Amino acid sequence: MSDPILIGKGQVPVEILPAMANRHGLVAGATGTGKTVTLQRLAESFSRIGVPVFLADVKGDLAGIGQAGGGSKKVAERVESLGLEGFAYAPCPVTFWDILGEQGHPVRATISEMGPLLLARLLNLNETQEGVLNIAFRLADDNGWLLLDLKDLRAMLAHVGENADSLTTTYGNVSAASIGAIQRRLLSLEEQGAERLFGEPALRIEDLMQTDEKGQGYVNILAADKLIHTPALYSTFLLWLLSELFEKLPEAGDLDKPKLVFFFDEAHLLFGEAPKVLLDKVEQVVRLIRSKGVGVYFVTQNPMDVPDSVLGQLGNRVQHALRAFTPRDQKAVRTAAETFRPNPKLDTGRVITELGVGEALASVLDAGGTPTVVERIFVAPPGSKLGPIDPAERAALMAQSLVKGIYDEAVDRVSAYEVLKQRADFATATAAANPGQAPGAKAQPKAAPASRAQSPVQAFASSAMRSLGTQLGRALVRGIMGSLTGSKR
């Protein structure tokens, strides 16, 4: 059994039991209250017990987890005040990822893997437009045409538009206006850099679940300081990744510790303005992915950012300070207080507004799966470096990466774009060779020129003249013909 993961100490220590870590969790609190340090503490602790971690570095200050800490007076004071025995400054093994390919290994997914539901959300399509997108996916699947990158999807949509009349009976109505709207949004998506996300080699889930030679889990850090400016792309990618984990990992049952822990920072971006069908999918994934050995921890400013259907499944909770300046803030405080199991020694609603930086209210699941009473704690600091690292340090860590050279170069194999272009080129060449022929019609053989009817003797003569081919031969044949036909020649 792995050692419990210490979150912090108050009247009693609060620890997450590794066997209960895949029951998911929540880290919440206002800006500047210590959420990022708590996230780093948890990620580091999971890594230490051999659990790989995936997290998004939204502010660019989590990369320090790959370097040893030290030199911070505040950290040293917190270690001493909490009496943390065996505390050591040490790095965690890390792998850097970046959709833009600038601060980490490129991370890609194919259009087919993303699927029409998530793409429709990414493109903010209405119901009619989503239906057209579904037709494009279905037609590609029926014909065995691969959808790998954005040019494949654009070519497929153009093909659907050009053949709308013939497709209506089998697949349903296709609106030219919907095709145009989707194409325009794909263009906008490209301008945001999304074309780098779609393609091959696609990310293999197994590469996120590595351990080093010491048995520590790798911390996979997605550079998201630029990605966060395109929130739809950010949240859709992370939801796709969760869905891939859910679909590809086998059932694991109850484990001593998770196979992977997934931190979803800025979680409100996932749920904001999401259609019901997408919220249902999120709820399903969160509810069922536990049995695959994956723990999901949402990090957000306000617990109200997470729908009740999801919030009720988050067993391990750390609540930093909330401010109650507005009626909505006051409601959020009441909501946060009511989600904890009451502690007779604490006025939870009042304490939430009084917590200092690095303080939190915490409740975890005990060995029986029951939430413990809420406790006020000081969060334990991580042993890795707090804050960002410089480009040279990042480059040095990437040079030692387990996946170096695997994802760095994109691969463009034959897919829907190439197939449809070849068909179009063939149709153009055929039309050029038969200018009077309607597009798509089969070339008709040219008719032989009409000839006068010949007698058997004339036919013989013509054949002989073609065979002899000389002036003498032709004169001889004419003489014979004259004798046979009564001619004077």
Summarised one tens digit per residue, pLDDT across range 94-122 is: 999 999 899 999 999 999 999 999 999 88
In a domain, 437, yes or no: no
- Residues 373, 234 within the same domain: yes
Antiparallel, parallel or unpaired: β 359-363 and 316-319: antiparallel
Strand boundaries in 245-315, DSSP class E:
260-265, 294-300
Q: Quick check: 295 and 245 in contact, CB under 8 A?
A: no
Cα torsion for 7, 339, 319, 245, to the nearest 10°? 70
Domain boundary among 351, 366, 399: 399
In a domain, 434, yes or no: no
Using N-to-C axis directions, what is the helix angle for 231-248 and 276-288, rounded to 10°?
A: 40
Amino acid at 335: T
Rounded Cα–Cα distance for residues 338 and 348 (Å): 8
- Residues 393, 460 within the same domain: no
- Residues 249, 394 within the same domain: yes
Whether pTM > 0.95 for this model: the answer is no
Each residue's pLDDT tens digit, 8-39: 999 999 999 999 999 999 999 999 999 999 99
- Residues 117, 214 within the same domain: no
In a domain, 439, yes or no: no
Q: H-helix or E-strand containing 378?
A: strand 375-379
* Residue showing tokens 């040279």: 392
Rounded Cα–Cα distance for residues 463 and 466 (Å): 5
In a domain, 383, yes or no: yes
- Residues 75, 188 within the same domain: no
Handedness of CA 81, 83, 89, 95 (dihedral sign): negative
Q: Quick check: 171 and 143 in contact, CB under 8 A?
A: no
Rounded Cα–Cα distance for residues 5 and 16 (Å): 5
In a domain, 185, yes or no: yes
Instruction: Quote the tokens at residue 470.
Output: 């000389």
Q: Is the pLDDT of residue 437 over 70?
A: no
- Residues 366, 469 within the same domain: no
Q: Residue 308, class by beta-carbon neighbours within 10 Å (0-12 exposed, 13-18 middle, 19+ buried)?
A: exposed
The neighbour count for residue 467, using CB atoms within 10 Å, is 9
Instruction: Quote the tokens at residue 102.
Output: 């600038």
Rounded Cα–Cα distance for residues 379 and 362 (Å): 10
The set of residues, in sequence order, having a beta carbon less than 8 Å from that of 150 and lying 6+ positions away, is: 111, 186, 189, 190, 194, 195, 198
In a domain, 30, yes or no: yes
- Residues 13, 140 within the same domain: no
- Residues 319, 211 within the same domain: yes
CATH number at residue 358: 3.40.50.300
Q: Quick check: 224 and 264 in contact, CB under 8 A?
A: no
- Residues 192, 207 within the same domain: no
Q: Quick check: 132 and 177 in contact, CB under 8 A?
A: no
Residue 138 lies in domain: 113-196+413-422
Amino acid at 87: F
DSSP label at residue 209: S
In a domain, 295, yes or no: yes
- Residues 100, 182 within the same domain: no
Each residue's pLDDT tens digit, 172-221: 889 899 999 999 999 988 888 888 999 999 999 999 999 999 999 999 99
- Residues 257, 229 within the same domain: yes
- Residues 94, 128 within the same domain: no
Per the structure, the count of domains in the chain is 3
Percentage of residues in the chain with pLDDT exceeding 70? 89
Using N-to-C axis directions, what is the helix angle for 111-123 and 150-162, rounded to 10°?
A: 70
Each residue's pLDDT tens digit, 334-380: 888 988 999 999 999 999 999 999 999 999 999 999 999 999 999 99
Give the model's pLDDT for residue 282: 87
Instruction: Quote the tokens at residue 200.
Output: 């091959």
